[in-house]
Structure formats: C-alpha cells, structure tokens
C-alpha cells in the first residue's frame, strides 16, 4: 500500500511524521523544564536531588527524540537540514552546546571527583532548560517570520547576515515563541514532579509552580496567537510552485484547515486543564493532559507552517529560495522506504509506554536515593 502512494502524499505524510516527532519532543521538554526548577522550586539539597533523579530517568528519551527529529528532517527534508543547519549556524550550534552540557550533567553531578563540581553541572542543566529551549523556540519561530538566505542553482545556501541565525532571537515573535516554550516546559516539568515524586513539601511547591509558570507563559502565548492571525504569510502557488506573500495567510490556514484549529484550541484547553487539575484540584495526572495538549499544539503549529500551500522555511531576502515540503523533500523512493521504516514507530512507542509504566509505578522517594543503589543515583 505504501508503495502506491504518490510523491505529494508521501511528502505530506512525512511532514506529519516529522511534526509528530517534533511535538512529542515539545512534550518531553518537561525534562528541561524540570532542570530549571531546581533553582526555584527545590529549597533543599534533597529536593534538588529528587527533581534531578525524577528528570534523570527520562532525559535520554527527550534527547533521543531530538536526535530523531533531526534524523527525520535529514532523511525526509534534506534541503531544510542543509539550509537551516548550514545557514542558521550559530543558533543550532548553541542549541547543541547546551545539549552536550545536559548529556553529561546527570551522570557526573553527584559522582566523586567530577572535576567541575556539582553546582557547575546544575548550572549546565539550567542552561540547557532555559537557553536551549529558548533558542529552539526562536528557530521554530522562523518557520513563520522567515530568515535571510538564498539558494543558488545547486541549492547551496548563502546566509544573509553574519549573525548566522542569532538574529532570529531578536524578533519579537520568535523570542515570544522561545519564552513560551521555556515556561511551558517549566509548567510540564512541575506537573511531572507532582506525578512522580513522593515528597509533600516539594509536591506542594510544584503544584504552585504549574500555574505560576502558565501565567508567565500566557503573555507570550497571546503575542504568538495575535501575530499568527494577523501576520502576512508565505504562500505557494500549487501550480507554478512560486512563493508569494499572502495577507493573513496563517489565519486563512487556520480557517482552511478546521482540524488544525480544533487541535490548537483543544491543545491549549488540555494544557490549561492539566494545570488547573494539578494546581488547584489536587490531582496528579495533570501531566497527561499537559502532555497531550502540548502535542496537539505542536502539531497545529507545524501544520500551519507546512500545509495548505505554505512555505515552511521562508526566505525574506529571496522569496523563491523559500522551502516548501515539496521542494525540500527527499525523492519518492526514499520517502517510500522511510515510510516502511516508520511502521515500526508504534512498536517503539509501545515498549516505551510499557517501560514508562513499569518504572513509574512507584513514586520516587528520598529513601530510594539513599538505598543500596545510591551509587547509581544522579
């Protein structure tokens, strides 16, 4: 059946698959959010260690999902991979630096003779959870605001500024996107602490942190939503493939794709409910509503950027160099092969969910941190 799909359908399918991976990554940034809570929500060394060990059992999933997101973009949309990573060089490099710091921080923080001291590794985690997520948000923001680049006849990228992508963080929309993700991640992180930690005082503060961070995220969310429905967008003529500016493009996309509008609104409501349930109703399951909501919002954002004849990586300096899911994609053969590979994804999600359930069946307690397995703890 997959072999009979035409190229256009495969391109749309792969934008969906990539969007799902990207949206799952956004949910899993609760790990990054949790990392930033160690300096605000934890008041003692023990509480800090509880948070770090809670997040530490999931950090690799987030990391791996990011790597898969990159791999899927490389395999399915190589021209985006080449253009964005090669052009917006410094944004991606800084994001990568923060993830290098994260990767070692869990394992090394509590180990004796760790060279840099526990505090340094905690700061590394904070940098990853704040600067790293902010820059990822700014990079995604450029899907709507565009970047300064041009492609020659061999699709070699030439970036228009010497800041190589850092200029994205100076744009209000992009910056708002980044800050929204930072506070959303903190909200999710607090919800996960409530779900997984058995420590009354810490959980109480984490419940409070969920709504405080949601409130902090709201102004940025409003800027994003207001901008999205009012801004000009980058449209593609489906016949000629020419890119042109369309007034109210993303509003048109929302109205033209009601499912996306439903996902966006449903997602936001789900996140808000998750916060209310955790912060005010004393429930522990808020993370699942927050997570589902985040995935839905992520899917809506990626759909707005890529579907309905829209250029998902627009160039503001050379409009015709803008990338669409059609001109940036891999060949039909490669997308077909990768679609067969993607059939394994439900199986992968299945065993992840099974192991998650097993490992989270019991909450994390202070006693476990000092048990016979203490040497393995973060």
Site for other proteins in 34-93 (CB under 8 A): 53, 57-58, 60-61, 63-64, 66-68, 70-72, 74-76, 78-79, 81-87, 89-90, 92-93
Q: Do 41 and 190 contact (CB within 8 A), yes or no?
A: yes
Instruction: Write phi, then psi, for 336 (nearest 5 degrees).
Output: -65, -45
Instruction: Calculate the CA 333 to chain-centre distance.
Output: 29
Q: Are strands 157-159 and 233-236 parallel, antiparallel or unpaired?
A: unpaired
Provide the residue count of the chain: 378
C-alpha–C-alpha distance, residues 210 and 102, integer Å: 23
Tokens of 172: 């209000």
339/195 Cα distance (integer angstroms): 35
Nearer to other proteins, 280 or 340 (CB): 340
Asked if 373 is part of the footprint of other proteins (rule: CB under 8 A), the reply reads yes
DSSP symbol at 284: S
Q: Which of 2, 5, 16, 96 binds other proteins (CB under 8 A)?
A: 96
**CB-nearer residue toward other proteins: 138 or 212:** 138
DSSP 168-203: GGGSHHHHHHHHHHHHHHHHHHHHHHHHHB--HHHH
Chain residues 148-167 in contact with other proteins, contact rule CB under 8 A: 153-159, 162, 164
Q: How far is the CB of 151 from other proteins (least distance, A)?
A: 9
Spatial separation of the C-alpha atoms in residues 269 and 273, rounded to whole Å: 6
Residue 157 CB, shortest distance to other proteins, in Å, is: 6
Q: How many residues line the site for other proteins (CB under 8 A)?
A: 77
For residues 334 to 363, the per-residue mask of contacts with other proteins, x marking binding by CB under 8 A and - elsewhere, is x--xx--xx-xx--x--xx--x--xx-xx-
Write down the least CB distance from residue 307 to other proteins, Å: 21
Q: Which is nearer to other proteins, 75 or 168 (CB)?
A: 75
> Of 147 and 187, which CB lies nearer to other proteins in the complex structure?
147
Of 99-128, which residues contact other proteins (CB under 8 A)?
A: 99-100, 103-104, 106-108, 111-116
Least separation in angstroms between CB 327 and other proteins: 9
Beta carbon of residue 362, minimum distance to other proteins (angstroms, whole number): 6
CA-to-CA distance for 77 and 54, rounded, in angstroms? 35
């Amino acid at each position: 059946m997959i072999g009979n799909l035409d190229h256009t359908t495969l391109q749309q399918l792969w934008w969906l698959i990539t969007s799902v991976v990207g949206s799952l990554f956004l949910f899993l940034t609760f790990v990054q959010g949790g990392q930033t809570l160690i300096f605000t929500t934890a008041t003692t060394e023990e509480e800090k260690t509880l948070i770090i060990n809670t997040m530490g059992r999931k950090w690799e999933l987030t990391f791996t999902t990011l790597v898969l997101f990159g791999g899927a973009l490389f395999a399915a949309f190589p021209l985006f991979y080449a253009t964005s990573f090669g052009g917006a060089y410094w944004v991606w490099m800084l994001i990568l630096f923060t993830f290098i710091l994260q990767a070692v921080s869990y394992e090394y923080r509590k180990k004796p003779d760790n060279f840099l001291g526990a505090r340094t590794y905690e700061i590394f985690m904070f940098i990853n959870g704040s600067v790293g997520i902010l820059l990822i948000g700014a990079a995604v923001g450029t899907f709507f605001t565009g970047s300064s680049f041009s492609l020659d006849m061999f699709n070699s990228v030439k970036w228009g500024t010497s800041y190589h992508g850092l200029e994205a963080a100076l744009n209000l929309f992009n910056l708002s996107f980044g800050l929204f993700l930072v506070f959303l991640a903190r909200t999710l992180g607090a919800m996960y602490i409530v779900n997984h930690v058995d420590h009354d005082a810490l959980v109480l503060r984490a419940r409070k942190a969920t709504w405080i961070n949601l409130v902090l995220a709201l102004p940025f969310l409003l800027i994003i939503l207001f901008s999205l429905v009012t801004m000009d967008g980058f449209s593609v003529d489906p016949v000629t493939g020419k890119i042109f500016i369309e007034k109210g493009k993303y509003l048109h996309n929302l109205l033209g794709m009601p499912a996306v509008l439903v996902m966006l609104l449903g997602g936001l409501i789900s996140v808000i409910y998750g916060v209310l349930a955790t912060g005010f109703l004393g429930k522990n399951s808020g993370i699942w509503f927050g997570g589902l909501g985040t995935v839905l919002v992520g899917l809506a954002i990626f759909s707005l950027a890529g579907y309905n004849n829209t250029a998902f990586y627009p160039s503001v300096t050379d409009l015709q160099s803008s990338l669409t899911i059609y001109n940036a994609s891999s060949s039909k053969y490669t997308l077909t092969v990768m679609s067969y590979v993607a059939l394994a994804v439900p199986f992968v999600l299945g065993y992840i969910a099974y192991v998650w359930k097993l490992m989270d069946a019991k909450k994390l307690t202070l006693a476990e941190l000092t048990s016979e397995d203490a040497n393995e703890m973060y």
